Structure 1
Amino acid sequence: MMAHPDALFNRKQYIGPESLADICFRLICSNLDIISSKDERGYRILRKGVALPSEICDKIIEFAHRNGTRDIDDYFLSMFKDSPTRLKRVKIANSSLSDESVLTITKHKLTELELSECKNLTELTIEHINANSDNLISLAFRGGSMIVPSQLKSEDDSALNYNKRGYVLRTPNLKKLALWNVDIAAYKYELLLAGLTNLTHLDLSNASHIGHVYYHNLVPNLVSLSLYNVKINSHPEAFVTNISYLKNLRDLDISQSHSKHGEFENPNKILGDLVCGLPKLVSLDIGGTNLAGRGVAERPDRSIQYCSELCDIPGLSFRVHTPLQFLGLYGTAHGACRRHDIPAQVIAGEGNEEQILVAARVCMDNKRDLLRKVLNDLYHIFRYENCERMDQALHTVLEAMEKHPTEKHIQISGSATLFYIVKIQEENGLPVEMKRRIIGTLLAGMSAHRDEETMMRNGCLALCQFRIPHDVMWNYEELVRVLLHSAENAEQEGFVQRIGLYLLNSLACQVDGRHKRLLGELGCVPTMLRLIEYRLEGGLFDDVLEVAWSTMWNMTDETPINCQRFLVAQGMRLFLGCVDAYPNKEELLRNMMGLLGNVAEVENLRPQLMEERFVAVFARLLNSDSDGIEVSYNAAGILAHMAADGREAWVVKNPDRDYVLSRMSTAIDRWDLSAARNINYRSFLPLLRLLDIFHTPQCQYWAIWALANLTKVYPDKYCILVEKEGGLTKLEKLLKDPRPNLRMKELAHSVLMHCQLACHPEQLQPSKLSSDDACNAEAL
């Protein structure tokens, strides 16, 4: 039975803070060592003294499955073997678990067991269930979880000779049974359903050869029967006769995804007889069939007429005054869902937004082939129309993607729809928990289909609607892994590679050292260098080349290990190649020199830069006016750090050290102190260290100029950083020292003034240089 669309969506499911219990379950499932350990074979064993009640055990499996971080396999489920735990309700999908694990979990005397797409299971699973079925009320095997052998017999093992023992399932208290894809002869259903007289709900979707099954003799108490994709149109009259004996039946599903199986002769009569024979029917799904007739409003045939009023579905005229609570019409012939006079309160179809959302709910768990089509319909609503039930649509898409992570087309349609939903919803701000759910769902789909270009494109586009990296920090590593794989394997020069690299660059920016190190550990540097080498060898210049260097620039910032990785991976060879091939590409030069500026800050790595071929390029770029002052500025910074190691460390004869230092001073002299900058410092410690290099004043000059420029142009951002990291003390010391020249003291004084104005304006008092160093600071 189907509720009204307004009742299908509970906003509380994702709005509001996550419960403490859910946080704990998520933490445990991500860190199973908290409650268990591994033996030498890798199987989980519950830690001594840990006892878990059923509510907790059930939730651990649920959260582990929901998070998608691990396969609910034999190694995981061994945690519940021979231990003080209690399982009650278990649902597992897309798992590699074996019959052995079924034995482990059924020994807990479950009340509910559902296994979907667990393809390693055999008929031995049946025996484990039968041996532990005292409390079992609900049992479901869906998708590829095939436990019923096609012959229902085993000549080699008398214990499994179902014909001889007279039953398949010995589950005396079972009320709900779902067995999908059953492929046995029609007369074997009597054996399959033998002894299950307490069944009230039966689902035999996708079963073959059902034929004339006498349900009323086998399962007389049924209130719900699902025969989705079961071929019944060969002998429809016999089917209607058999079904009509089930006088308590309230829910019936005979929908089809195969159009040829949904074609009936005399559809009006078949439907009319069926509905008349089931007086308690309140929910009926005839989607994908022609049972709704041709679509002309008419007074029905007198053979099925029980009402004088018009009805657009002749076979349902009997229910005009007692309409069905739910009627499934998705994919019916002649556009039945678009008709006006339909005796049903809630309709699933493709006629409008409401019908599509209802159809998605109907298909959500067990009709994946139809769910793909429904999600595609929903996508077109967002693309070409205005969606009125935005919250319901969002919840529906997320649930579909979460429940079917391996279904490529569901993930593709869902991610495409999420792009439009997030684009609209983010304008008003999404709750944090909703963001996490969306991002987690997208990431799970991208991880499962990382070689599918369309999925990766949709996922990346949707992620770009969020604040990166802020909104994705909780699952930073998994996103980096997915994007690195895409950068390596996506079509070269394609959109997916470009947008994936853009996201990677965003993930490398504005994060702390721990995350920058993680990027290096996951192989970001060699991945970027391979992208660069491909373009160099092919003579290709594009935005990927620039962004690859930018990504390495960001991830090497104050991260020495990543700087070392760059050098080890022969990054300098590609640097020289790019300088030679693209000497006038301003952004490329800036990104490369910014990266090498980070390398030069690492003392033990500087000797690797001390080669004539490298120093010559740095010296030449001092005169560059590319990208304002940025290339020249970074070149001077690299040389300043190298020169700071002293004359003995300068082992290069050409260019000469004094010559390079002279050119540095000339370059700094010509820079505009008010220039806006395309650079971001998180720490000034590398610059402040250069203030102590009195033996080479050019090093001090570059550092003081940088501080003066940044505190003047961006006082709110950088003045507090100077004060926090002890820069004021160093500058005051420099002002008192007789060695620095007048220009350097002017710059130092200006930094102090900027910081006082920005950080302590109330303490501002006139400050004077010594008479020997008098200058007009305001003019600076």
Structure 2
Amino acid sequence: MFESPKSLLEVCIDFICNNVLDLCDVHLGDTEEYSSNSLDTTTCSKASNDGSSSSATRLSFRHPDAFLPAEISEQLLANLCEKKTLSDLTITLFNSKSTRLRHVRLKDASTLSAKGLKVLKQHKVVDLMVNGLKITVNDLISCLGDWSLQNLRSLSVAKGSFIDCSRYCVVVTLSKLRSLHTLNVSGTEFNKHGLEIVVEDLPLLESLDISCTKVDDITPLKKCKNRLKTLNMYNLKINESADLISVLLELNELRNLDISDEKDMHALNCMLGPEKPKITDFLKAVHCMPYLTSLDLSGKGDIDPKDLKEFIKAHPYLRFLGLVSTDACYDDSLTNPTDEYYRPGLVVTGTATESQILEGLRRYTCRPLYLEKCLFNLFRLTHNFLESRIDVIKLVLPAMREHPQEVRVQVPCTACLYNLTKGEFSIMIHPSILKQVVELTMIAMECYPTNYRLQMNTLLILCSDRILQEITFDKYRCARLVLNSLLTFNEPSMNRMSVAICSILAAKISTVETSMLGAQPQYMSKLLAMVRTKVESKSVDITMKFTLSALWNLTDESATTCEVFLDEGGMELFLKVLESFQGQFSVETKVLGSLNNIAEVVHLRPRLMQPRFISMLSTLLTSVHIDVSYFAAGIAAHLLSDGPRAWAAISSLPSRDELLEQLAHTITHWQTPQGEMVAYRSFHPFFPLLRCSDAYPVQLWAVWAIHHVCTKNRVPFLIFKTWPSVKDEYEFRAQSIAFPKEANVSRYKFYNIHPKSRLIGLYPKYALPRMIPLAIPR
């Protein structure tokens, strides 16, 4: 349950990232015209050759002497990138006068152009990671200053491009980086020709990542066999004519070697193409690479366990072995501590044990296929967890965040998260962790609205009291996504969870937001159709109750939703519900709660004035269940408040006068309930009733309701909406209400807080001052 809070530095950087345009001055370029309203984080800028932005739109700190040291500058830049607010405009903030950049790490630079990246010319950069570039690598290098070109030690341009406008792969500019020690060109068009260039022209190169590139022959690596210490060639398609194994065996200085493969991708090629070099030939050469500390063979299907044991035995420095998607990870020498070949200090990734799976999630965040296999096997283990595993959740979340568009990752992630957060497990999970779970769950729902399994998993996660009641997140967005899922699928368990979630969330969002949801006829039509199905089958189950609760909360103080409800036939349906389920007070209470919300809307009341309904109200007023009687009385009070003229148009039994008399008799004979029957967003609906001087039972119901809420709801303040003005203030005085003795209103005590006084008890014979909140004693 315990989670260390963010440091003050992290909090400040987050605040700057979220409010960067509000905290900085915007300097418009000499040749550009922008209105203050048009500037946003996607605005582009123009930069001069030296990287300055004196003639372009740029940002600057408001304090002229503000300066951020390198560590803070670099963290701010990385966070802007992570929060997707980095653009050609926001990057201009990092000029050399107010910031220092030496280690630049941009995991996703797809929003930047060469114009924005020219700001790097002003800095002495030694470590540069700019992944996902939309411009070419050559353009990126042209954005570096002379000092950086001469001293850059590490460069990562993964998922970038070397293809220029002429569609040729150009890597010659890499030759300028003579001090480069580490180069990552994974996921680019880098090829054998480029490999030859960097091997020849980069004399200090000792770490190379050519994973998922077009290199089909690694023979050029022989020229740097005496200095190459790290080689990653994951998912590399080597030409069958190239002698891969013989080249690898010459690289004796290697400490880290990754020759893993995505076996599933090449299954067809393996069946139809020439026979690939067997990895077992490499493992038999036990004396090669004597200093090897890390070896990844994941995806290799021809590993002989005996050869692997001998290889491990011959390499005492080996500390990591990757075996995901192989059968070798199940060998006793890697899973059984009592086995004679078992090495305790060797970290293994695979799917045989929990430790292998968790290490796989930790290391392969960027490899969807491996994540899928690890998550699938993790899901099987989560069924047996007996306690909350926050460590596991923290490994699942990055995988989910990294691959929002990979359904093969999202489905097992959501399945694991459900098992890891369900029931009592959630109690021990810190709210900040659960908030991340919910946010990523909603992203998954948005990305795959028609995927049945994923939507089922997400609903299972969200259908949690701890999450819905205690965690802070965008509840309107969540309610909208859940309602969309309800429209898409017609599966009983999904329907049940959807309406359960909506019934809670609808009470926690603003009336503006409930109106936005309720204004969509398709949502209302679906909810009413679910109720109609239950009426036709004469069955009351938890799904129906949740659906009625959702309708009750959606219509609360939302005239728009109430009108859509009536337009979609809700009134006729609810009359059938009341007739079909007489005496079932839980159903009657929810139905009357919704109709009471509609009765609060003045222009909709005529649509409730039906003799059939008035007769039902009269009957329900006498219910032995006070909840039913209370809401029936509330509807009657609102309808009666419209005066005799509104009742003259209908011939109903009972008449208006009879219903008024019945209402007064009912209220004065209620017994005080033990608990709170209802929660109100505000007391605004009662104000018009309190002014109804010609019908004291209407006022009496409003007074009884306010008194009930004030005495049963133990919150410190129950705020009245601001009363309009002195001329039109909504005061209520006992003498103007003129309650008869039998109303016994003296027992209703209200409490008022005045800004300059202590808590003062006020009885109805005193006026309630304007704009003063009601409160209750502690």
Q: Same fold (TM over 0.5)?
A: yes
Query: What is the DSSP-based 3-state SS (H/G/I as helix, E as strand, rest coil) of the residue aligned with 1:147?
Result: coil
Query: TM-score by structure 1 length?
Result: 0.75
The question of 1:505 aligning with 2:521 is answered: no
Q: CA separation in 2, counterparts of 1:32 and 1:615?
A: 61
Given the alignment of the two structures, is residue 170 of structure 1 paired with residue 176 of structure 2, yes or no?
Answer: yes
* Structure 1 counterpart of 2:527, one-letter code: I
Match of 2:6 in 1: 18
TM-score normalized with structure 2 length: 0.75
Which residue of structure 1 lines up, in the alignment, with residue 361 of structure 2? 360
CA spacing shift, 1:255–1:555, aligned 2, 3 Å = same
User: What is residue 379 of structure 1 aligned with on the other side?
Assistant: 379
Indicate the residue corresponding to 2:420 in structure 1: 421
- 1:629–1:226 CA distance, 2 compared to 1 (3 A): same
What is the deviation of 1:399? Answer: 2.3
Give a deviation string over 1:419-452, Cα, whole Å, max 9, x none: 2222366365223333333333434444444443
* 8 Å CA contact retained: 1:404, 1:410: yes
| 1:202 Cα offset (Å) | 1.0
Return the letter of the residue paired with 1:226: N
Contact 1:528 1:549 in 2 (8 A): no
Partner of 1:770: none
SS in 1 for 2:312: helix
- Structure 2 residue 233 is matched with structure 1 residue 227: yes
Partner of 2:625: 628
Alpha-carbon distance in 2 for matches of 1:354, 1:480: 37
Deviation at residue 250 of structure 1 after TM alignment: 0.8
* CA distance in structure 1 between the aligned counterparts of 2:108 and 2:493, rounded to whole angstroms: 31
CA distance in 2 between counterparts of 1:325 and 1:456 reads 40
d(CA) in 2 for partners of 1:382, 1:522: 36
1:648-701 CA distance string (max 9 Å, x none): 565644345324424534655776655866433465565577456442122134
Residues 485-504 of structure 1 show CA distances to partners (whole Å, capped at 9, x for unaligned) of 4344x313554454233223
Give the AA of the match of 2:155.
L
Tell me how far apart the structure 2 counterparts of residues 172 and 492 of structure 1 sit (CA, whole Å). Answer: 63
What is the DSSP-based 3-state SS (H/G/I as helix, E as strand, rest coil) of the residue aligned with 2:205?
Answer: coil
Give CA deviations for 1:435-484 in whole Å, capped at 9, x if unaligned.
33333343444444444333333233223335254433354454345334
Give the counterpart of 1:279 among 275, 286, 290.
290
Change (3 A) 1:481 1:612: closer
- Structure 1 residue 705: Cα displacement: 5.0
1:570 to 1:379, Cα distance in 2 relative to 1, 3 A: closer
- The answer to whether residue 162 in structure 2 is matched with residue 148 in structure 1 is yes
Aligned length: 691
Aligned match of 1:598: 597
The answer for the alignment partner of 2:397 in structure 1 is 398
Unpaired stretches in structure 2, ≥5 consecutive residues = 27-33, 44-56, 334-338, 722-729, 753-759, 762-778
Structure-2 change in CA distance of 1:219 and 1:444 (3 Å)? farther
Give the distance between the partners of 2:111 and 2:319, measured in 1 at CA. 39
**Does the 8 Å contact 1:704/1:744 carry over to 2?**
no
> What is the Cα deviation at residue 204 of structure 1?
1.0
Following superposition, the deviation at residue 180 of structure 1 comes to 1.9
SS at structure 1 position matched to 2:569: helix
CA contact (8 A) 1:323 1:345 kept: no
- The Cα shift of 1:211 comes to 1.7
* Superposition deviation, residue 387 in structure 1: 7.1
Measure the CA separation in 2 of the matches of 1:167 and 1:500.
56
CA distance in 2, matches of 1:614, 1:107: 78
- Spell out, residue by residue over 1:156-186, the C-alpha distance to the aligned partner (whole angstroms, 9 max, x if none): 59xx7849xx555532232222212345653
Pair 101,590 (structure 1): closer, same or farther in 2 beyond 3 Å: farther
Which stretch shows the higher mean deviation, 40-49 or 450-459? 40-49
Displacement of 1:203? 0.9
Is the contact between residue 272 and residue 316 of structure 1 (CA under 8 Å) also seen in structure 2? Answer: no
Measured at CA, do residues 266 and 215 of structure 1 come closer, stay the same or move farther in structure 2, by a change above 3 Å? Answer: closer
How far did 1:623 drift?
1.0
Counterpart in the other structure of 2:129: 114
1:576 aligns with 2:577: no
Which segments of 5 or more consecutive residues in structure 1 lack a partner in the other structure?
A: 1-10, 301-311, 756-762, 765-780
Q: Is the 8 A contact 1:66 1:402 kept in 2?
A: no
Using the TM superposition, give the Cα deviation of residue 382 of structure 1 relative to its aligned residue in structure 2, in angstroms.
Answer: 0.5
2:201 aligned counterpart, secondary structure: coil
The verdict on how the C-alpha distance between 1:651 and 1:529 changes in structure 2, with shifts beyond 3 A counting, is farther
Contact 1:206 1:229 in 2 (8 A): yes
User: Which secondary structure state, in structure 2, belongs to the residue aligned with residue 460 of structure 1?
Assistant: helix
**Is the alpha carbon distance of 1:720 and 1:209 closer, same or farther for their aligned partners in structure 2, counting shifts above 3 Å?**
closer
Alignment-derived partner of residue 270 in structure 1: 282
Structure 2: distance between partners of 1:693 and 1:267? 90
Matched, 1:255 2:260: yes
Measured in 2, the distance between the counterparts of 1:180 and 1:669 equals: 80
Which position in structure 2 is the counterpart of 1:213?
Answer: 219
The answer as to whether partners of 2:320 and 2:347 remain within 8 angstroms in 1 is yes
Percent of paired sites with the same residue: 21
Q: Give CA-to-partner distance per residue, 1:102-148, whole Å, 9 cap, x none.
A: 63454454444434455x44465455456775253332233xx2413
Distance 1:555 1:612 in 2: 18
Pick closer, same or farther for the CA change 1:330–1:278 going to 2, 3 Å. Answer: same
1:742-770 deviations in Å (ceiling 9; x for gaps): 4311xx34445999xxxxxxx99xxxxxx
Mapped partners of 2:479, 2:97: distance in 1? 38
CA deviation after TM superposition for structure 1 residue 195, in Å: 1.9
Q: Which amino acid aligns with 1:62?
A: A
Q: Call closer, same or farther: CA 1:708–1:567 in 2, change over 3 Å.
A: closer
CA distance in 2, matches of 1:169, 1:654: 95
Whole-Å separation in 1 of the counterparts to 2:651 and 2:94 = 71
Please give the secondary structure, in 2, of the residue aligned with 1:637: helix
> 1:253 offset after TM fit, Å?
0.9
Counterpart position of 1:640 = 637
For residue 299 of structure 2, what is the aligned residue in structure 1?
288
Q: Quick check: 1:193–1:219 contact (8 Å CA) kept in 2?
A: no
1:506 counterpart letter in structure 2: I
> 2:309 is matched with which residue: 294, 310, 313?
313
Amino acid at match of 1:279: P
Partner in structure 1 of residue 727 of structure 2: none
Does residue 370 in structure 1 map to residue 370 in structure 2? yes
The Cα offsets for residues 386-438 of structure 1, whole Å up to 9 and x where unpaired, read as 37893432221122223333322222222221222223663652233333333
Counterpart of 1:59 in structure 2 is 75
> Equivalents in 2 of 1:194, 1:523: separation in Å?
68
Partner of 1:773: none
Q: Which moved more, 1:192-201 or 1:98-107?
A: 98-107
Aligned pairs (5 A) from 1:553-564: 553-557=552-556, 559=557, 562=558, 564=559
Contact 1:201-1:222 within 8 A present in 2 as well: yes
Residue type at the aligned position of 1:606: V
- Give the CA deviation at 1:620: 2.6
Contact kept? 2:81, 2:109, Cα under 8 Å: no
- Structure 1 distance, partners of 2:715, 2:693, is 24
Give the conservation status (yes or no) of the 8 Å contact 1:229–1:255: yes
Partner of 1:308: none
Q: Whose RCO is larger (CA < 8 A, sep 6+)?
A: 1
Could you tell me whether the CA contact under 8 Å between 1:597 and 1:638 is conserved in 2? Answer: yes
**Residue identity matched to 1:500:** S
Report the equivalent of 1:760. none
- Which amino acid is the alignment partner of residue 295 of structure 2? L
User: Which residue of the partner structure matches residue 772 of structure 1?
Assistant: none
1:243 partner letter: L
- Specify which of 195, 200, 203 is matched with residue 209 of structure 2: 203
Q: Give the AA of the match of 2:254.
A: L
- Once the two structures are overlaid, the 10-residue window that deviates more, 418-427 or 401-410, is 418-427
1:332 alignment partner in structure 2 = 326
The structure whose residues are more often helix, as a share, is 1
Contact 1:469–1:506 (8 Å) recurs in 2: yes
Conserved 8 A contact 1:707-1:751:
no
Shift of 1:353: 0.7
Could you report, residue by residue, the CA deviation over 1:713-755 in whole angstroms, capped at 9, with x for unpaired residues?
xx55369879999xxxx99974x8994334311xx34445999
Task: Give the whole-Å Cα distance in 1 for the aligned partners of 2:695 and 2:319.
Answer: 87
